[in-house]
A and B are shown apart, each in its own frame.
Chain A
Amino acid sequence: MSVKERIGWYVGALLIVLYAVVPVAYIVSMSFKSEAALSDRQFFPSQVTWANYDGIFRGNGSDLFLPALRNSIITCLAATLIAVVLSMFAAYAIARLNFPGKRLVLTSALAVAVFPVITMVTPLFNLWRRIGLYDTIPGLIIPYLALTLPISIWTMSAFFRGIPWDMEQAAQVDGATSWQAFRKVIVPLAAPGVFTTAIIAFFIAWNDFVFGISLTSTSAAQPVPAALSSFTGSSYFVQPTGAISAAAVIVTIPVVVLALVFQRRIVAGLTNGAVKG
């Protein structure tokens, strides 16, 4: 590669970083603006204030934000855990065993992944109201499984297929019991795939908005994305821009940290499940 070409690619790389970061930087900047400065049409705040964060953690926004944060964490962790455990068994069977209907499981997972989520909302809204699951945390965890299970099954099957399963037998030949062989050889090889799947499933659940605003109505179960859209300002006439920005930054931090720390694995997981690797 010539020097000129190389510089070209580096400029491209710089553009990518700018592309990815500018909108995020703007919402961070808004979260540090004072109420008066919010409409100054400047990209950067002229004066940094923590008032918006104070508002959502201790002020009048905290009644809405703190329960929503709790709801989001509980719901997303539960949905991720259930999906990962169930699809771990399924993916093991798909990668390891020969059984009729294997393709059916994979195809249904794919079909559910492209299913329009809003189609589920109307019937669930009605049913949840009748049986008392409306505005409850379990009432959100169940539909979240429709989001997290398909991607978990696909991603983990792709990972599990790459495991050299013969190593288990080799260990048995060397004198390990079959359980020992499985635990000492297969589990360590499978763990990164399981972990990566969990992160991707968590991202997807954390991103949900449709179920959040349709199946909840109060701070009993409302997750953060839904709560964000129902924020009100300090008075009826004030736009809650500052509070929304601060809350948006807070919910973004955990996912961005996960993305930063595990970027290599997430990229592998996303592309493994999607394109034969």
Chain B
Amino acid sequence: MQTRSAGDVSVSRSAARKPRGSDKARSEARLGWYLAGPAFVILIAVTGYPILQALYESLFSFRLTAPGDREFVGLKNYGVILTDGLWWSALVNTALITVVTVAVELVIGFALAMVMHKVLGWLRPIVRTAILVPYAIITVVSAYAWQYAFALTTGFMNDLLGLGDFDWFANKWSALFVICLSEIWKTTPFISLLLLAGLAQVPADMTEAAKVDGATAWERLWRVTLPNMKASIMVALLFRALDAFRIFDNVYIMTNGAAGTETVSSLAYNQTISRLEIGLGSAVSVLLFVCVLVICFVAIKVFKVDLARARGEG
């Protein structure tokens, strides 16, 4: 299949068109927006409206159980949250989960990608299918599977590890450990598929040349393979980091924030849906949104990733 990028097409077209005036260009632009417009408008409406509304609601003291007491309080909700230890502990948990899972996933994901890259013949489709299983399974189901495996009553893990009656979910660190395991299991396939696509782009003659020049396998990996797949590593890293930072399902199923395992998303959920504190919940939501923006900004500035380009828009 041809792999010409959209950029080439538009360049050659506009070059051909310019001398003939802009009537055709204008009708093409209009058609473009007729076609892309509906999707764009819906995209903006379904997310733009809620974020503006959340910004607005976050300025009120508003509890759904006492709607009459709604009162404008300015930035007070933010003050309440930012001076509360719960927010900071949720933020630290979330950051910790993000760093640990993404780091482990990169390593395991790369190993899996290498295996998938090397294994040929009848085994290849089997491996590729198997790797899709965790991706396809809903997070809630995987959360239950891991929870049951580690739980005191139903789990086989304690017997397997010889830990007797150790309650994984009663302790913050062991609970976070199981949450991370489940998250890693579920999302590593995505990373490894991205890295596999990156591996396929490493020019084979370069690796071959390095081999002829006497480079060891380790040197080839660090000097040739990894630098050549930098783009796909960056994309995998950033997308997983943003995804991990929103972690909710696993935490909700396994502990629901108990034992100090609250994350930023579960904090927002608990304020709004369980406690009906719309004002405070909105403020947490806005802060979560700000965190995600900061991660994007840092990624773009520090790693100089052009997201749109890395995602394939040339």
Taking Cβ atoms with an 8 Å cutoff, the residues of A that contact B are: 1, 9-10, 12-13, 15-17, 19-21, 23-24, 26-27, 30, 38-39, 41-43, 86-87, 89-90, 92-110, 112, 114-127, 142-143, 145-146, 149-150, 153-154, 157-158, 161-165, 203, 206-207, 209-210, 213-214, 225, 228-229, 239, 241, 244-245, 248, 251-252, 255-256, 258-260, 263-264, 266-267, 270-277
Report whether A266 and B132 are in contact in the complex, using a CB–CB cutoff of 8 Å: yes
A-B CB pair tally, cutoff 8 Å: 351
Q: A87-B39, A98-B32 are in contact. List 6 more A-B contacts (CB 8 A).
A: A27-B145, A115-B51, A252-B138, A273-B311, A275-B197, A276-B5
Q: What are 12 A-B contacts with C-beta separation under 8 Å?
A: A13-B119, A16-B130, A41-B156, A43-B156, A89-B38, A93-B35, A99-B30, A121-B273, A122-B268, A123-B53, A206-B138, A271-B196
Rounded to whole angstroms, the CA-CA distance of A43 and B142 in the bound complex is: 16
Q: Which residues of B contact A27 (CB under 8 A)?
A: 141, 144-145, 148
Rounded to whole angstroms, the CA-CA distance of A1 and B281 in the bound complex is: 58
Report whether B132 and A118 are in contact in the complex, using a CB–CB cutoff of 8 Å: no
Rounded to whole angstroms, the CA-CA distance of A206 and B61 in the bound complex is: 35
Q: Which residues of B contact A270 (CB under 8 A)?
A: 190, 193-194
Report whether B289 and A30 are in contact in the complex, using a CB–CB cutoff of 8 Å: no
Report whether B153 and A38 are in contact in the complex, using a CB–CB cutoff of 8 Å: yes
Report whether A162 and B3 are in contact in the complex, using a CB–CB cutoff of 8 Å: yes
Report whether B36 and A125 are in contact in the complex, using a CB–CB cutoff of 8 Å: no
Report whether B242 and A256 are in contact in the complex, using a CB–CB cutoff of 8 Å: no
CB distance from A35 to the nearest CB of B (A): 11
Nearest A-chain residue to B268, judged by Cβ? A118
Nearest B-chain residue to A114, judged by Cβ? B242
For the side of the interface on B, what is the size category?
35 or more
B253 at the interface (CB under 8 A from A): yes
Report whether B308 and A251 are in contact in the complex, using a CB–CB cutoff of 8 Å: no
B154's contact among A38, A116, A256, A274, by CB below 8 Å, is which? A38
B31's contact among A93, A203, A258, A277, by CB below 8 Å, is which? A93
Nearest B-chain residue to A159, judged by Cβ? B1
Q: Which residues of B contact A150 (CB under 8 A)?
A: 43
B209 at the interface (CB under 8 A from A): no
CB distance from B169 to the nearest CB of A (A): 13
B288 at the interface (CB under 8 A from A): yes
B25 at the interface (CB under 8 A from A): yes
CB distance from B271 to the nearest CB of A (A): 8
CB distance from A120 to the nearest CB of B (A): 4
A90's contact among B40, B123, B308, by CB below 8 Å, is which? B40
Q: Which residues of A contact B49 (CB under 8 A)?
A: 123
